[in-house]
Amino acid sequence: MKRIEHLSAIAHDIGLVFQFLGVASLLPFVVLVIFQEWDIIIPMASAPATFFILGYLLSLTPRPDDSPPLSVTLVAVALSWSAIALVGHSPSLSDSICPIQTAFLRRCPAGQVPALP
């Protein structure tokens, strides 16, 4: 099997993990509702929506009968962690929470925009 075929062997499992993360990333909405942070609900919804969409699309891939080698599995785990970090960072890239310049340089509390030096 080639590398792409090996990665497609575990794409279904990665899709299920992404769907679980979509459900888990809905938990901060409880805090948003309690503290009535209505202005950041739409940017915060980008992470669960992305996890659900990616998870659904990846879970549609067919699962072959043989299992991939350990090296391909480790690569898939590393790619999954990278995707989780990018998707998890997507709400803070919205201009309503934190400007793009400070999203990578400093931590921005919700609703506050620090001045650039």
Pair of tokens at residue 32:
């948003």
Pair of tokens at residue 65:
């009968």
**How far is 4 from 17, CA to CA, in rounded Å?**
19
Higher pLDDT, 51 or 95: 51
Count of C-beta atoms within a 10 Å radius of residue 87 = 20
Q: Is the pLDDT of residue 20 over 90?
A: yes
- What counts of helices (H) and strands (E) characterise the chain? 6, 0
Read off the pLDDT of each residue in 6-22 and give the average, rounded to a whole number.
87
Backbone φ/ψ region at 108: left (φ over 0), alpha (ψ -120 to 50), beta: beta
What's at 42, amino acid-wise?
Answer: I
Q: Give the pTM.
A: 0.73
Structural domain boundaries in the chain? 3-105
Please state, rounded to an integer, the average pLDDT across all residues of the chain.
80
Q: What is the pLDDT of residue 23?
A: 93
Asked if residues 59 and 19 have their Cβ atoms less than 8 Å apart, the reply is yes
**How far is 80 from 63, CA to CA, in rounded Å?**
18
Q: What is the pLDDT of residue 10?
A: 86
Asked if residues 15 and 62 have their Cβ atoms less than 8 Å apart, the reply is no
